[in-house]
């Protein structure tokens, strides 16, 4: 069996230049239009054309701190490819995919605490995909340490944002009801004006 050698530190990173060229598919997802190459420590990956991505999957309550795209965009697209394609194919473990994500963010210059927060978040997300494995439990102490350090700072404003989002959704519904009634009842009441469709409020926190 062959041994995979680590490449020099200077060779790790995205191809130069790398263009993020994507096309929107729906409210959440985009597709890659130009391949994105990345050299990891032991393997090279190429995100192919048509690969799906939703950039960084950040809950709305934390978008004020970690927008869905930024300095880490290329790393997020790479991570989506690894999770959606390479891991299900058995070519890579969730642990290694998340580690490559963290390393790619380091190469992109993402600050230390921010990239470790994002790594911890995807490690927690890996529970849903891979379950509570021995491999996951081995990294639990680091995940807990990051949570202990960061949550006291980021959770209170995050909860305030969540309350504001819920309140706005309620306000949207309150405003929508009379507008919808006007759309439906206006013609019946003889109101002569060009009908305008009233878009319903969204129940999702993603848009």
Within a domain: residue 129? Answer: yes
* CA separation for the pair 79, 89 (Å, rounded): 15
- Give the CA distances from residue 129 to residues 12, 16, 83, 87, 132, in Å, rounded to whole numbers and listed in that order: 27, 32, 9, 10, 9
Within a domain: residue 141? Answer: yes
Beta strands in the chain (DSSP E): 13-14, 22-24, 30-32, 36-39, 44-47, 52-53
Place of tokens 């050299």: 39
| Domain with 148 in it | 9-154
pLDDT, tens digit (0-9, with 9 covering 90-100), for 11-45:
899 999 999 999 999 988 999 999 999 999 989 99
pLDDT, tens digit (0-9, with 9 covering 90-100), for 60-97:
899 999 999 999 999 999 999 999 999 999 999 999 99
The domain total for the chain is 1
More confident residue, 184 or 70: 70
Buried b vs exposed e over 101-121: b needs ≥16 C-beta within 10 Å? Answer: bbbbbbbbebeeebbbbbbbb
Entry pTM: 0.87
Within a domain: residue 134? Answer: yes
Within a domain: residue 196? Answer: no
* CA separation for the pair 103, 141 (Å, rounded): 19
pLDDT, the chain, mean: 89
Within a domain: residue 170? Answer: no
pLDDT band at 2 (very low <50, low <70, confident <90, very high): very low
Closest among 84, 79, 87 to 115, alpha carbons compared: 79
Within a domain: residue 15? Answer: yes
Q: For position 170, what pLDDT does the model report?
A: 92
Within a domain: residue 183? Answer: no
Within a domain: residue 199? Answer: no
């Amino acid at each position: 069996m062959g041994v995979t050698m680590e490449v020099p530190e200077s060779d790790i990173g995205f191809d130069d230049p790398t263009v993020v060229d994507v096309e929107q598919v729906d409210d959440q997802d985009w597709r890659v239009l130009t391949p994105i190459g990345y050299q990891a420590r032991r393997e090279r990956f190429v995100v192919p054309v048509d690969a799906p991505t939703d950039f960084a999957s950040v809950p709305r309550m934390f978008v004020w701190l970690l927008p869905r795209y930024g300095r880490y965009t290329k790393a997020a697209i790479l991570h989506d490819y690894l999770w959606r394609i390479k891991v299900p194919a058995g070519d890579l473990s969730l642990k290694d995919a998340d580690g490559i994500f963290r390393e790619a963010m380091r190469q992109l210059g993402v600050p230390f605490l921010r990239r470790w927060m994002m790594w911890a978040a995807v490690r927690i997300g890996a529970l849903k995909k891979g379950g509570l494995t021995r491999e996951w439990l081995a990294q639990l102490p680091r995940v807990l340490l990051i949570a202990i350090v960061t949550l006291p700072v980021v959770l209170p404003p995050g909860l305030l944002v969540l309350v504001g989002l819920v309140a706005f959704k309620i306000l949207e519904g309150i405003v929508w009801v009379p507008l919808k009634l006007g759309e439906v009842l206006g013609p019946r009441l003889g109101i002569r004006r060009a009908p305008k469709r009233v878009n319903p409020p969204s129940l999702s926190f993603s848009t």
